[in-house]
Amino acid sequence: MNESMRSYMKVGLVHFMAYPETLKGDGPIVETFKKIAIDDYFEVAEITWIKSRAVREQIKKMANIAHLEISCAGMPRLLTTKQNINSLDEDERLKALDTLKEGIDQAYELGAIGFAFMSGKYLPDKQEEAYQALVKSTKELCAYAKTKGDMKLSLEVFDYDLDKCSLIGPVALTKRYAEEICQEYDNFGLMVDLSHLPQLRETAEESLIPVKDYIIHAHMGNTVVKDPSCPAYGDSHPWFGFPGGENDVDELVTYLRVLLSIGFLNKENRPVVSLEIRPVDGEDPDLLIANAKRVLNRAWDLV
């Protein structure tokens, strides 16, 4: 592609994956966030919960000064507490909803452009009951977010039988779910992820084209699916080109071409497309970020 990628998308970085010591809402959030804020490669930083109000105020100020947009992710809230918004236990479902509502509150407090979450466990023998619980929870979250402003919510599509084992999920059920929610709420969409396609055993075309009308956010990353003994196995987001991994320049090129062909990448309403990488066995996060930027630069040249 001869034109700048900035003409078609806002490149982001998933802060809490690059610096996983911040996953639980504390740790060196300010110091690591500053590394993204001073790097003009990125227009968006995706952050997760921040337990300290003082730290949230620092992050908001830094982002404003740096002209950096923030997007918030509720997935770590659910994963680190093992909560499930499609639990068939109503008390457990409501508990998960409460933590996501708290996340929505924080996102508005930070001036975030979006808030993401994930479905709970895929239960083959109770799939329809879990699906209905998910729809109920999602509509409650969309209604709650609407009372506070116009921030978009997105559900990230994960694997259903390999690592996160989430209900959403396989493309057919994902499409049904997105159609049902979007019929009633205009503040909802899907988040897709290159690293999840091999985990779902779906190609970019198979996974993205059926839900093209509902995608509002995208991630770019790598995964290992063939060797369960590998420390980067599953939804671990190792660096592009990681030994035994599935994604490098060529796979990112294919992914970006499909996103371009369906109109997701566009000049009129540039979407967020974030790099998501995570250190393995003590690797330096800054080296992984350099890897991801070089891979994206090369992939865009070939789109």
**pLDDT, tens digit, 9 for 90 and up, residues 130-173:** 999 999 999 999 999 999 999 999 999 999 999 999 999 999 99
> What pLDDT, on a 0 to 100 scale, did the predictor assign at position 124?
86
CATH number of residue 283's parent domain: 3.20.20.150
**Which phi and psi angles does 168 have, rounded to 5°?**
-115, 110
Q: For residue 55, with 0-12 CB atoms within 10 Å meaning exposed, 13-18 middle and 19 or more buried, which class applies? A: middle
Contacting residues for 211 by C-beta, under 8 A, at least 6 apart: 171, 174, 175, 178, 190, 192
pLDDT digits (tens, 9 = 90+) for 246-292: 999 999 999 999 999 999 999 999 999 999 999 999 999 999 999 99
Element (H, E) at 254: helix 249-261
**From the centroid of its chain, how far is CA 9?**
15
Q: Which amino acid is at 64?
A: N
Among 133, 181, 130, which residue's Cα sits nearest to residue 155? Answer: 181
Record the pTM. 0.96
Helix axes 285-302, 249-261, angle to 10 degrees: 60
Are the beta carbons of 197 and 169 closer than 8 angstroms?
Answer: no
Contact 239, 230 (CB under 8 A): no
For residue 17, with 0-12 CB atoms within 10 Å meaning exposed, 13-18 middle and 19 or more buried, which class applies?
A: buried
Tokens of 59: 């992050």
Sign (positive or negative) of CA dihedral 134, 77, 17, 185: positive
Number of domains in the chain: 1
What is the residue range of 12's domain? Answer: 5-302
pLDDT at 92 over 90: yes
